[in-house]
Structure formats: C-alpha cells, structure tokens
Amino acid sequence: MAVETGTASSAADLYDKLIAFLTTNADLVSAGQEWAIAWDTPAAYENQSDIVLRGPGLSGQDQVYVGMRLYQDPIGDTFFIQTVGMTGVLPTGLHYLDHVNVTPNYVRMFLDAGTMTYWFVASGRRFMVVVKISTNFETMYAGLFLPYATPLSYPYPFFLGGSAGPIAPAGPFSWRSVGTNHSHFAWPTNANYYSSQAVDANAWLIDPAGSWKRLANSEGVAGTPCCIGPEFTYGDYFSSNSGAYDPRFIMSRTMDAYGGDRMLVPCTLIQKDPTDQTYGILDGAFRCQGVANSAENLITVDGVDHLVVQNVYRADFNDYWAMALEE
C-alpha cells in the first residue's frame, strides 16, 4: 500500500500528481506494485491527457486496466477526470475509450481550477482518490475489489466508482452542483430511474462472466441490477424496507461503542436482479457512522487510520464513509 496527501494548484496539477504517484511512488515501487503506462495518447490525437494505466496486482502477475482523461473548460468552470475500466489494451487505439471491454460509460471526479487538498491511496490492485474543494469532497475508486469467490470462478473482480456519471443536460456540471446525480460511489446513483433525466450510473462492476453491471442505491431502477450495502439492499436481503428497521437507517443510528470505538462496515457489492447474490467488498472503503463524527476525522482500527469523508456536500448522519490510509 502507498498513501500520499498534499495540495494541488490546479486540475492539471492534480492529474499529473496522481499519475506520478501511481507510477513512481517509492512504496509502490519497493513492493513491486507500481502502475505502468499501458497506453498513451498518439501524438496526433487532440486530447493529450488520455492515458491507460496497468496495475500488477499484489503478485505482480495481474493486469488491472484503468483509462483516464482530464477535462478542462475554464469558461464553463468545469473540470473533472473521466475514468473507465477495461480488460485489455489495443496498441492501435486512438483514445482512452478505444480498447477492450471498456465500461459502457465513464464516471467523473470533479476538480477545480484552484488549490485542492488530496488524498491518494493505492496498491497494485486498485487506487482511491479523495479531493477536498472548499467544503465539498470528490472521490474515485478504480481497480479490483475483494470478491467472495476464488480467482478461478471470479477472474477479474473490477469496480469503478466516482462522484457522477457522464455529462448530461440534467447535470451535475461541477463540484458546486447540488442534486441526486452528484454522489459518491458509496451511494451509487443512476438517474435513469428519474424519467426526466437521461443520466447514467456513477458506479460499475464486472461480474464473474465478464459483463459490466450498473449500480444504483434506489429501488426499482430499470437496467440497474446491483447496489452497495449495507443500505438499499432491496429484495430478499431484508424483509423490512420501512420504519425503524429500514436498512437505509443503519449508519444514521449507529453510535460510538463503550470506550469510543467506532464501527466500520465494508461497502458490499450486492446483486438485486435477476437473483440476489453478494459479489464481495470494496478494498479499503467502509461506511461509518455520522453521529458525533465529521469529515477529515480519523477512525483507527487495528492500527490503521481511516479518513472520514462526507458524501460531496452532504453532512447528515447517514452521509459518511471512511477510506483506509494503509501503508
């Protein structure tokens, strides 16, 4: 594992710092877990920020592919990183989407033109990013999760999550945007559920058969078979979806244990349709209580600090998750 925190002076500076962290960080290099540039933008192509990175896994034998593009519109005050997953690279590809089994749509992590505080966490399997802009937080998860299966039965357990899905007329447009579609991957959203908003998901996974599946923590979202627990696990997982036992209120009603310990609940990847099954958990991402808690607090479990992060601008009891700062 490797961890880095600091400040970036602009969206381009943060993007460059992230790539440098993944490819040259001393802790990653010493462990043989640094990411490599598997594909870079052809010289003649207009968007020179396009890149595909390859993670080696923990054994050095895996091939974990993540594609990224930096989008900058100073006039519109819109800055973000577009991110996709894939299962392979085409050397002749012309842009970051032009590869093998790419995510049906990219996800976004918003940035800013000015100074931002960031936290990077990575291993050879996956990386996570948290960015603080003013009092808001943006985030990204890209790479493998921890499957409840053997490598033979689940060869590529990939998860991709951000703070928003693709650009759409309904927004969001920047880190300042307020609305259902601007949400961290721990609360995946798919606004196709709302008929007036043609917006795609901000979180995706690859299932054991190698197919991409959307995630959305909303009941009855057409074409969205998966969600993230412990909440919004509709279907047969919980018999009660209302009142005092509604699973949506699990974390909002969780308090400190005696002695001040706080519970971390793994972000769990659950399929709701066509059958109920649990795929696994995110690597180093947990839901945590909001009672007597706030963003940037540290929760220490088994000697590992976990950074508390709020869901963009939200700060209710149910709006916090924690990222393991494990080195």
CB of 83 closer than 8 Å to CB of 70: no
CB of 89 closer than 8 Å to CB of 99: yes
Kindly tell me if the per-residue pLDDT of 242 is higher than 70. Answer: no
**What is the model's pLDDT at position 223?**
60
**What is the model's pLDDT at position 195?**
38
Q: Give the pLDDT mean for 9-28.
A: 98
pLDDT tens digits for 153-181? Answer: 999 999 999 999 987 766 788 999 998 88
Kindly tell me if the per-residue pLDDT of 244 is higher than 50. Answer: no
pTM for the predicted model, two decimal places: 0.92
The domains of the chain are located at 2-324
**What is the model's pLDDT at position 160?**
98
Q: Give the pLDDT mean for 312-323.
A: 93
Q: What span, in angstroms and rounded, lies between the C-alpha atoms of 9 and 79?
A: 13
**What is the model's pLDDT at position 80?**
97
